[in-house]
Amino acid sequence: MIVTYSRNAFYYETDRMDIIHHSNYVRWLEEARINMMEQMGFPFQKLEAMGILVPVLSVETEYKFPVRFGDRFEVQSELTKFTGCKFSLEYKVMNVTQDKQSLTAKTSHCFTDTSLRPVRLKQACPELYEKYMQYLRGPVST
Amino acid sequence: MIVTYSRNAFYYETDRMDIIHHSNYVRWLEEARINMMEQMGFPFQKLEAMGILVPVLSVETEYKFPVRFGDRFEVQSELTKFTGCKFSLEYKVMNVTQDKQSLTAKTSHCFTDTSLRPVRLKQACPELYEKYMQYLRGPVST
Amino acid sequence: MIVTYSRNAFYYETDRMDIIHHSNYVRWLEEARINMMEQMGFPFQKLEAMGILVPVLSVETEYKFPVRFGDRFEVQSELTKFTGCKFSLEYKVMNVTQDKQSLTAKTSHCFTDTSLRPVRLKQACPELYEKYMQYLRGPVST
Amino acid sequence: MIVTYSRNAFYYETDRMDIIHHSNYVRWLEEARINMMEQMGFPFQKLEAMGILVPVLSVETEYKFPVRFGDRFEVQSELTKFTGCKFSLEYKVMNVTQDKQSLTAKTSHCFTDTSLRPVRLKQACPELYEKYMQYLRGPVST
């Protein structure tokens, strides 16, 4: 299930190359993940209020076309792996204003307690576990 | 007692005007305050480890001359008021590379517990209280 | 004329005090200003495309109540002074989720060419000049 | 040739997990690259002054151990590929305070003109080309 998130690029996100600084796309991916959880009906702050954190394990980004100040972008996010402890997402970021694909990305994450020790989501939060199973990309049919 | 802190401006701190984004100077003031506490011999993390937070109450900045990528800047900070609960600092930020004054600023702060309730420093941390008294700007003689 | 701008606070805008870092409110004011120009029907990028920049001259903020991750905030902005070269805005930032006033702020700005030399808006961009005159707060009647 | 760059983590780089936000490490890699060019004797701003930009093509990060406020970190950077148009770096970020490896990363980049069209460094800037050849990791001997 591909979930989309969209807004305009902010002025303070630009750098002196007159494009969005590459580190800010990493922040947009986070905005999209948090928005995905809202769309799931389980806001991220609810998870953290239960003492469950979701640190980032890895990020991979490939920059293809710049986003500039005022351009509208759209992040298309998909949950591609979920083991119960860890999960991965894949993203496309579109420059909607320029009708170009700006970025592809992958991130991986785990669930931990507040001491950053791993927890299994099925035990720690069965309600979110069910939602993750539902949003997980199925096997690609041929 | 004026305390100085210096580094070069980072690339990612610029915006598409090709100058440092004005919000980043506010962050430099924080860097300078934290450095001041190191120079006092009482690092900020030691204070927070005691359960004392130091939220910002107000910021005033006046921008006079831009800092650009790679320019060296120097923050000159001075503790100008201290009541035991609250304190104020005044700053000059110099663009050292261009030999110009870039910014003047004032900030005010208070000491709180982790629930953001005010605490009196003399009781909560007498050691730092003494250092603040020592760094406080004396009455201006005429 | 008071113009409002609203969104939720992002995760990456928090700091280890578990509140939005004070420098990020300064960025929210910029978001609100740029949104105001969109609401005026004269997007900021159109002005910059004409070679007119709008550097920040000063910022004053007073922090009253924290915004936390996920809280919705609203910036209420008003153009309070406009001389043709310079202008000032005043802001209230509401924590909508907590129904509290979070911040009051003022900023001042000028219009410049790309070399950061002042320009008069009436000559440089009469269309925006008219809009500014229209949005300017009138004398307070008694 | 491994080049090191080091500083303490800033307060405003933390998030409410009480660790450095993962996007900020991406900025640290940039700081390290720019520092590498200074160590090469060819500051980045000199290259940009020649009309040569160096956009980021890709970033890969693997987070292993958090850096917290006040921790000293060290970025160890190495130029691992260089084709004349494109280059790659590999990084280790150490949490020096905790004596742990915090992050491994790779980034790739290209040289472009100010319209973001690729340029060959040998023609565009032979002096830097020579330095890159000199810093490039040699074939691993067995």
Predicted local confidence at residue B141, as pLDDT: 54
- pLDDT tens digits along C48-81: 999 999 999 999 999 999 999 999 999 999 999 9
> What confidence category does residue A132 fall into, taking pLDDT thresholds of 50, 70 and 90?
very high
Strand ranges for chain B from DSSP E: 2-8, 56-63, 72-82, 86-95, 100-110
Share of chain D above pLDDT 90, in %: 95
State the average pLDDT over residues A48-76.
97
d(CA C18, CA C23): 14
A83 vs C: CB within 8 A: no
* Residue C59 within any structural domain of the chain: yes
Q: Which residues of A touch C10 (CB under 8 A)?
A: 27, 30-31, 34
For residues A68 and A15, is the Cβ–Cβ distance under 8 A?
Answer: no
For residues D7 and B31, is the Cβ–Cβ distance under 8 A?
Answer: no
What value does the CA radius of gyration of chain C take, rounded to a whole number of Å? 16
SS3 content of chain D, % helix, strand, coil (to 5): 30, 35, 35
pLDDT(C137) > 90: no
C114 vs A: CB within 8 A: no
For residue C75 the two structure tokens come to 């910036």
Q: Which of A72, A91, A98, A99 is nearest to A29 (CA)?
A: A91
Predicted local confidence at residue D138, as pLDDT: 79
d(CA D86, CA D121): 9
- pLDDT tens digits along A3-35: 999 999 999 999 999 999 999 999 999 999 999
Mutation site for C-interface testing, chosen from B58, B64, B68, B100 by largest number of C Cβ within 10 Å: B58
State the average pLDDT over residues B113-139.
93
C44 vs A: CB within 8 A: yes
State the average pLDDT over residues B31-44.
97
Chain B: give the shortest CA distance to residue D68, in Å.
10
Q: Which residues of D touch B34 (CB under 8 A)?
A: 10-11
Q: C-alpha angle B6/B16/B73, rounded to 5°?
A: 10
What is this structure's pTM? 0.96
A45 vs C: CB within 8 A: yes
- What is the spatial order of strands in the sheet that D72-82 belongs to? A3-8, A72-82, A86-95, A100-110, A56-63, D56-63, D100-110, D86-95, D72-82, D3-8
d(CA C115, CA A5): 37
Q: Which subunits have 3 or more CB–CB pairs within 8 Å of chain D?
A: A, B, C
A113 vs D: CB within 8 A: no
Mutation site for B-interface testing, chosen from D7, D12, D28 by largest number of B Cβ within 10 Å: D12
Mean pLDDT (chain B) is 96
d(CA B91, CA B5): 11
Query: What is the 8-class DSSP label of residue C11?
Result: G
State the average pLDDT over residues B14-41.
97
* Backbone φ and ψ of A116, nearest 5°: 65, 25
For residue D139 the two structure tokens come to 């074939």
Q: Which residue's structure tokens are 């120079």?
A: B39
- pLDDT tens digits along D27-54: 999 999 999 999 999 999 999 999 999 9
pLDDT(C17) > 90: yes
CB-CB: which of B27, B45, B70 is closest to D69?
B45
- Contact (CB<8Å) D56/A22: yes
For residues A79 and A136, is the Cβ–Cβ distance under 8 A?
Answer: yes
d(CA B98, CA B107): 25
* Residue A50 within any structural domain of the chain: yes
Predicted local confidence at residue A137, as pLDDT: 83
Q: Which residue's structure tokens are 């120097």?
A: B74
* Residue A111 within any structural domain of the chain: yes
* Residue C141 within any structural domain of the chain: no
For residues A89 and D55, is the Cβ–Cβ distance under 8 A?
Answer: no
B97 vs C: CB within 8 A: no
* Residue A141 within any structural domain of the chain: no
Predicted local confidence at residue B142, as pLDDT: 53
Predicted local confidence at residue B32, as pLDDT: 98
d(CA B102, CA B40): 26
pLDDT(C93) > 80: yes
Helix (H) or strand (E) holding A36: helix A22-40
Amino acid at D126: P
Predicted local confidence at residue B139, as pLDDT: 66
C21 vs D: CB within 8 A: yes
CA-nearest residue to D48 within chain B is B69
Predicted local confidence at residue C140, as pLDDT: 56
Query: What is the 8-class DSSP label of residue A18?
Result: S
Environment class of residue B49 by beta-carbon count within 10 Å: exposed (0-12), middle (13-18) or buried (19+)? Answer: exposed
* Residue B141 within any structural domain of the chain: no
Q: Provide the ipTM.
A: 0.94
Is the Cα dihedral B78, B85, D17, A117 positive or negative? Answer: positive
Got the DSSP string for A22-35? HHHHHHHHHHHHHH
- Contact (CB<8Å) C12/D21: yes
pLDDT(D80) > 80: yes
* Residue A140 within any structural domain of the chain: no
For residues A70 and A20, is the Cβ–Cβ distance under 8 A?
Answer: no
For residues A84 and A121, is the Cβ–Cβ distance under 8 A?
Answer: yes
Mutation site for A-interface testing, chosen from C25, C34, C107 by largest number of A Cβ within 10 Å: C34
What value does the CA radius of gyration of chain B take, rounded to a whole number of Å? 16
CB-CB: which of C10, C11, C34 is closest to A11?
C34
A26 vs B: CB within 8 A: no
pLDDT(A140) > 80: no
Share of chain D above pLDDT 70, in %: 97
d(CA B134, CA B126): 12
d(CA A28, CA A36): 12
CB-CB: which of D12, D43, D70 is closest to B30?
D12
B45 vs D: CB within 8 A: yes
For residue C44 the two structure tokens come to 């900021």
Predicted local confidence at residue B138, as pLDDT: 79
Q: Which residue's structure tokens are 């920059």?
A: A63
Alpha helices in D1-142 (DSSP H): 22-40, 44-49, 121-124, 126-135
Q: Which residue's structure tokens are 């409002």?
A: C4
For residues A72 and A28, is the Cβ–Cβ distance under 8 A?
Answer: no
Q: Which residues contact D50 (CB under 8 A, 6 or more apart)?
A: D124, D125
Q: Which residues of D touch C18 (CB under 8 A)?
A: 16
User: In chain C, how many domains are there?
Assistant: 1
Task: Calculate the CA C79 to chain-centre distance.
Answer: 9
Minimum mean pLDDT range among A42-56, A82-96, D126-140: D126-140
CA-nearest residue to A19 within chain B is B16
d(CA C96, CA C118): 38
Task: Calculate the CA A27 to chain-centre distance.
Answer: 9
* Backbone φ and ψ of B120, nearest 5°: -90, 125
Mean pLDDT (chain C) is 96
Q: Which residues of B touch A26 (CB under 8 A)?
A: none
* Domain encompassing residue B114: 2-135
Q: Which subunits have 3 or more CB–CB pairs within 8 Å of chain A?
A: B, C, D
For position C70, which CATH number holds? 3.10.129.10
- pLDDT tens digits along B68-108: 999 999 999 999 999 999 999 999 999 999 999 999 999 99
Task: Give one word for A57, left, alpha or beta, with left for phi > 0 and alpha for psi -120 to 50.
Answer: alpha
Predicted local confidence at residue B137, as pLDDT: 83
Q: Which residues of C touch D16 (CB under 8 A)?
A: 11, 14-16, 18, 68-69
B23 vs A: CB within 8 A: yes
Q: Which of A115, A28, A34 is nearest to A67 (CA)?
A: A28
For residue D40 the two structure tokens come to 């090469």
Mean pLDDT (chain D) is 96
Is C113 a residue of the active site? no
d(CA D50, CA C27): 32
CB-CB: which of A15, A23, A68 is closest to B14?
A15
* Residue C140 within any structural domain of the chain: no
